[in-house]
A and B are shown apart, each in its own frame.
Chain A
Amino acid sequence: MTLGPAVDALAQWLSGPDPAWWAVGAAIVAVWVLPVLAVVFPVAAIGQIIERKVAAAMQRRHGPNTVGIDGIVRLVVRLGGFFLPRASQDRLVERICALPGLGLLKVLGLGQLAADGVKMIGKEDFIPAGTDGLIFRAAPYLALTGAFLPFAVIPFAQDLVALEVPVAALYALAVSGVTVIALLMAGWGSGNKFSLLGGMRAVAQVISYEIPVGLAIAGVVLWCGTMDLHQIVAHQYNGEWYSFLGWNIVQSPFLFLLACILFFGGLAECQRTPFDMAEAESELVSGFNTEYSGLRWGMFAMAEYTEMILVGCLVSTLFLGGYQSPIGENWIITLAPWLQTILHVGIFAAKFTAFVVLMVWIRWTLPRFRVDQVMRLCWLTLVPLCLVCLFGLALTMLLANGTVTGAAFGRLPAMQHLALGPVGYLLAWAIPVAVAVVLIVLARRKYGQMHPALRELTGGAS
């Protein structure tokens, strides 16, 4: 028994010094699985509520705002207060529901989450004839697994990381790829041509976009000289009050560009509009999850939201200083460890939530690419851009300290990150930005001519 001290202790407590198989199983469920589930549902719920609220705000409607917990309150009062007269029961329900906290709950639409959960669990687990049984049933679990495994290496605070491995970045990239297999299994196992097309699209797209994503991560690895995410976060520490100047994203325009590429690549990997080829509601009905219902469908949905949060976490960790505060990080680390952890987790949550909001915003604004356009964007735009960035990064490092070996800078205070000094730092930004601006202006002049009728339609704006 080497499953971990907590599991061993619980199993031995349950059935003696040589625990039976059932005791080990129960201990594993109690110690590992239940806490994971306790994290899974809130995480997916956060994504869901953000999605609904942002969409509602953009579309000038109310969104989920009518489901409170009135029904539950009523049920509890009826059952618990059966001895009271009916009128008093009703009055009690009204009193409780009028409490300000519950009203807020209703406004936020949080009751909708509970209702959705109950609905999802209560629905029939519908498995159509003609499905490939095992593959069809297993796919949602695999999707969820692939979405959750990378969280093991994400540092949420100084000491809050489940698994410290030296190749954490590689690990995260690798295990998140498991989702592709799940999508393919779902597409194939459903026995539906729309699902099959969706699954195939998903595979082609996710595998392609792993290249720019991998290259973007490689840029950070090159810069920081380590694949350990914790080390990468530590590398972005800056001892001044303006601690954001230590972040990777402000170090070089190439890193900034790589951060954008990582974000958009991540967007493509979690199949969100404008990259939702695999679901493509108006083309493929619902793509790979057409035939799923109930909790199995819910698992795909949860996997999607989890992946969104994962992308937010990765971008924050690799480029935005991870759990560090943008200002006053040097003050935070002088606090008591428990307070530090709480602050760090909060800051980290704020960062990845911002990315989730951004993703939702993009989803409800943009139309969808076509399959070939997605592929073209990946192979003809993002991959060459990544290579240019990697080259530019290496060149910057070479000019700065004469070598391209990573981690040459160590943990230095801000502005000394580059041995170029402040002038060199500004130049390192100015030259690539100038080149990019010139290229963009030229491209606009050549291709950006808008028909006068369109200018009229948009109120004269160009």
Chain B
Amino acid sequence: MSSDLAIESAGGERMRINMGPHHPATHGVLRLIVECDGEIVSSATPDHGYLHRSIEKIGECVEWPMFVPYTDRVDYVCAMNANLAYCVAVEKLLATDKTTAVQVPRRAEVIRVIVAELNRISSHLVAVGAMSMDLGAYTPFLHGIAQREGVNDIFEKLCGQRLTYNYITIGGVGFDLHTGAVEEIESFLAQFEKEMIRFNKLITTNTIFRDRCAGIAVISAAEAVAYGLVGPNLRGSGVDWDIRRDEPYGIYGELGVRVPVGQGYAGRTGKVGDCYDRFIVRLLEINESVRLIRAALKLLPPAAEKPADPVGGFQADVAKALRKPPKGEIRVRTEAPRGEMGYVIVSDGTKTPYRVRCRTGSFTACSIFNKLMKGIFLADIVTVIGSFDIVVPEIDR
């Protein structure tokens, strides 16, 4: 719709605006150098690095389990999933040698899925809430944040933290579920589903909201794949791909993950792969996560006496394996809320990693910005950024 308005002014005179690194809509310290002709954007170049904390370099200097807290900082909006990605990768690395392979206890695997999906819910709540706030609706954002508090309360009882959990460890989880955790999670989910219906009535089906997202920044499936989009951004373009289902890790294979994809949900004005599709895919994934948590709670085996019990324990003994892990390399990817979180780990057989590489969804999402932000309105920039669910520490690491 707006692309036909992208007419340059007679003199070709452009205005250059600095959006960020501190701007209300850039979700942290992302900087966009926007060139625009009045309200119409002719280019928007992202400038990264304002939150670069050398996490990959740090990874070469700390021992294997000591890197887990740093993964929290890679993506603090979904720290559980970030923990999980690294721990699964190290476990897969250890599994390449029979002498070091560790068997994660069954109970720990189930707990991992529960906390990862809970964190996916809270991460998506931030995403959809922040997007509605970017479009000027503040109340839905606070309602989303209020629900996120419920997740944080559960996590606080579980591991003492509300943001950077450092809960999932190599070979299991840090602590067993606290007393009454199952009931807490179930009662949270019950009220959460009702709240989400209210949330959706408030913002998702709002005509103004829909009209602002529909048909904006349409990404075709081929483009989405070529630009390395992952997770909900990829599925919003109609690509049916979810690592939890297609390359299952942990117990995801038993749960039968169902994957929503973009279908032009906005109706008449919507196209597959527009901002509204990405938004709706996140909401549908929230519902799916609720279902997965309920399914996982049913699979939860009773706790055993010994922590390292292969069924009812929560933490396998990995100390020996991590002192002398196999030499070599591994690449493992997991599905975080912002899409594929892949670790490339090179080990030289010592107790510190040789190279830790973290591939995140937000980083590649930024690579398509300049292409998308041509001929749209200045106001649409925030819609696009919001629809990609950018988390800046994940870009810069």
Residues of A with Cβ closer than 8 Å to B? 55, 58-61, 193-194, 197, 200-201, 273-274, 276, 280-285, 364-373, 447, 449-451, 453-454, 456-459, 461
Q: How far is the CA of A76 from the CA of B281 in the complex (A)?
A: 59
Instruction: Give the distance to chain A from B386, nearest Cβ to Cβ, in Å.
Output: 8
Residues 245-289 of B, flagged 1 when their CB comes within 8 A of A and 0 if not, give 000000000000000100111111000000000001001100100
Q: Is the CB of A451 within 8 A of B39?
A: no
Question: In chain B, residues 105-148, which have Cβ atoms closer than 8 Å to a Cβ of chain A?
Answer: 132-139, 142-143, 146
Further 14 A-B residue pairs, CB within 8 A, beyond A200-B38, A453-B284, A457-B204: A59-B142, A274-B136, A282-B24, A284-B378, A285-B23, A367-B135, A368-B137, A368-B208, A371-B377, A373-B212, A447-B268, A453-B263, A458-B197, A458-B200
With a cutoff of 8 Å between Cβ atoms, the chain A residues found around residue B300 in the complex are: none
With a cutoff of 8 Å between Cβ atoms, the chain B residues found around residue A368 in the complex are: 135-137, 208, 212, 379
**Sampled A-B contacts (8; CB under 8 Å):** A59-B138, A285-B23, A367-B212, A453-B284, A457-B196, A457-B205, A458-B204, A459-B200
B7 in the interface (beta carbon within 8 A): no
Partner among A193, A367, A450 whose Cβ is within 8 Å of the Cβ of B206 = A367
Residues 300-319 of B, flagged 1 when their CB comes within 8 A of A and 0 if not, give 00000000000000000000
Q: Is the CB of A60 within 8 A of B146?
A: yes
Q: Is the CB of A457 within 8 A of B136?
A: no
Partner among A60, A372, A451 whose Cβ is within 8 Å of the Cβ of B377 = A372
With a cutoff of 8 Å between Cβ atoms, the chain A residues found around residue B208 in the complex are: 274, 366-369, 373
Q: Is the CB of B284 within 8 A of A197?
A: no
Given contacts A285-B23, A450-B205, A453-B260, contact A370 B380 (CB under 8 A): yes
Q: Is the CB of B142 within 8 A of A457?
A: no
Q: Is the CB of A365 within 8 A of B137?
A: yes
Question: In chain B, residues 176-199, which have Cβ atoms closer than 8 Å to a Cβ of chain A?
Answer: 196-197
With a cutoff of 8 Å between Cβ atoms, the chain A residues found around residue B25 in the complex are: 282-283
Q: Is the CB of A285 within 8 A of B212?
A: no
Q: How far is the CA of A372 from the CA of B208 in the complex (A)?
A: 12
Q: Is the CB of B136 within 8 A of A285?
A: no
Q: Is the CB of A61 within 8 A of B379?
A: no
* Chain A residue nearest in CB terms to B18: A193
With a cutoff of 8 Å between Cβ atoms, the chain A residues found around residue B260 in the complex are: 453
Instruction: Give the distance to chain B from A329, nearest Cβ to Cβ, in Å.
Output: 38
Q: Is the CB of B200 within 8 A of A280?
A: no
Instruction: Give the distance to chain A from B276, nearest Cβ to Cβ, in Å.
Output: 10
With a cutoff of 8 Å between Cβ atoms, the chain B residues found around residue A369 in the complex are: 208, 212
Instruction: Give the distance to chain B from A20, nearest Cβ to Cβ, in Å.
Output: 53
B156 in the interface (beta carbon within 8 A): no
Instruction: Give the distance to chain B from A176, nearest Cβ to Cβ, in Å.
Output: 24
Given contacts A59-B143, A365-B202, contact A373 B211 (CB under 8 A): yes
B89 in the interface (beta carbon within 8 A): no
* Chain B residue nearest in CB terms to A368: B136
Instruction: Give the distance to chain B from A191, nearest Cβ to Cβ, in Å.
Output: 13
**Which one of A61, A200, A458 has the highest number of Cβ atoms from chain B below 10 Å of its Cβ?**
A458
Partner among B5, B143, B205 whose Cβ is within 8 Å of the Cβ of A458 = B205
Q: How far is the CA of A58 from the CA of B136 in the complex (A)?
A: 15
Given contacts A365-B137, A371-B377, A453-B280, contact A61 B205 (CB under 8 A): no
Q: How far is the CA of A456 from the CA of B197 in the complex (A)?
A: 9
With a cutoff of 8 Å between Cβ atoms, the chain B residues found around residue A285 in the complex are: 23-24
Q: How far is the CA of A193 from the CA of B39 in the complex (A)?
A: 11
With a cutoff of 8 Å between Cβ atoms, the chain A residues found around residue B264 in the complex are: 451
Given contacts A193-B17, A450-B205, A461-B201, contact A61 B265 (CB under 8 A): no
Given contacts A453-B280, A454-B205, contact A280 B211 (CB under 8 A): no
Q: Is the CB of B209 within 8 A of A367?
A: yes
Instruction: Give the distance to chain B from A181, nearest Cβ to Cβ, in Å.
Output: 20
Q: Is the CB of B137 within 8 A of A371?
A: no
**Which one of A282, A447, A454 has the highest number of Cβ atoms from chain B below 10 Å of its Cβ?**
A282
With a cutoff of 8 Å between Cβ atoms, the chain A residues found around residue B138 in the complex are: 55, 59, 364
Q: Is the CB of A453 within 8 A of B379?
A: no
Q: How far is the CA of A285 from the CA of B211 in the complex (A)?
A: 22
Q: Is the CB of B133 within 8 A of A282?
A: yes
Q: Is the CB of A366 within 8 A of B377?
A: no
Question: In chain B, residues 11-35, which have Cβ atoms closer than 8 Å to a Cβ of chain A?
Answer: 15, 17, 23-25
Q: Is the CB of B379 within 8 A of A370?
A: yes
Q: How far is the CA of A280 from the CA of B39 in the complex (A)?
A: 13
With a cutoff of 8 Å between Cβ atoms, the chain A residues found around residue B142 in the complex are: 59-61
With a cutoff of 8 Å between Cβ atoms, the chain A residues found around residue B24 in the complex are: 281-282, 285
* Chain A residue nearest in CB terms to B264: A451
Q: Is the CB of A449 within 8 A of B267?
A: yes
Nearest 3 CB-CB pairs, A to B?
A: A368-B136, A459-B197, A367-B137
B62 in the interface (beta carbon within 8 A): no
Q: Is the CB of B263 within 8 A of A197?
A: no
B203 in the interface (beta carbon within 8 A): yes
Q: How far is the CA of A399 from the CA of B264 in the complex (A)?
A: 49
Q: How far is the CA of A214 from the CA of B96 in the complex (A)?
A: 77
With a cutoff of 8 Å between Cβ atoms, the chain B residues found around residue A453 in the complex are: 260, 263, 265, 280, 284
Q: How far is the CA of A456 from the CA of B134 in the complex (A)?
A: 25
Q: Is the CB of A283 within 8 A of B132?
A: no
Q: Is the CB of A365 within 8 A of B39?
A: no
* Chain A residue nearest in CB terms to B376: A370
With a cutoff of 8 Å between Cβ atoms, the chain B residues found around residue A284 in the complex are: 378
B2 in the interface (beta carbon within 8 A): yes
B382 in the interface (beta carbon within 8 A): yes
Q: Is the CB of B377 within 8 A of A367?
A: no
Q: Is the CB of A280 within 8 A of B280?
A: no
With a cutoff of 8 Å between Cβ atoms, the chain B residues found around residue A451 in the complex are: 263-267
With a cutoff of 8 Å between Cβ atoms, the chain B residues found around residue A367 in the complex are: 132, 135-137, 203, 206, 208-209, 212
Residues 223-242 of B, flagged 1 when their CB comes within 8 A of A and 0 if not, give 00000000000000000000
Residues 355-392 of B, flagged 1 when their CB comes within 8 A of A and 0 if not, give 00000000000000000000001111110000000000
With a cutoff of 8 Å between Cβ atoms, the chain A residues found around residue B146 in the complex are: 60
Given contacts A280-B136, A453-B280, A457-B200, contact A371 B265 (CB under 8 A): no
Q: How far is the CA of A197 from the CA of B379 in the complex (A)?
A: 11
Q: Is the CB of B204 within 8 A of A283?
A: no
Q: How far is the CA of A450 from the CA of B139 in the complex (A)?
A: 23
Q: Is the CB of B204 within 8 A of A194?
A: no
* Chain B residue nearest in CB terms to A200: B38
Q: How far is the CA of A201 from the CA of B381 in the complex (A)?
A: 17
Q: How far is the CA of A251 from the CA of B102 in the complex (A)?
A: 81
* Chain A residue nearest in CB terms to B283: A457
Instruction: Give the distance to chain A from B210, nearest Cβ to Cβ, in Å.
Output: 9
Given contacts A370-B380, A371-B39, A458-B197, contact A364 B268 (CB under 8 A): no
Q: How far is the CA of A449 from the CA of B269 in the complex (A)?
A: 11
Q: Is the CB of B137 within 8 A of A366?
A: yes
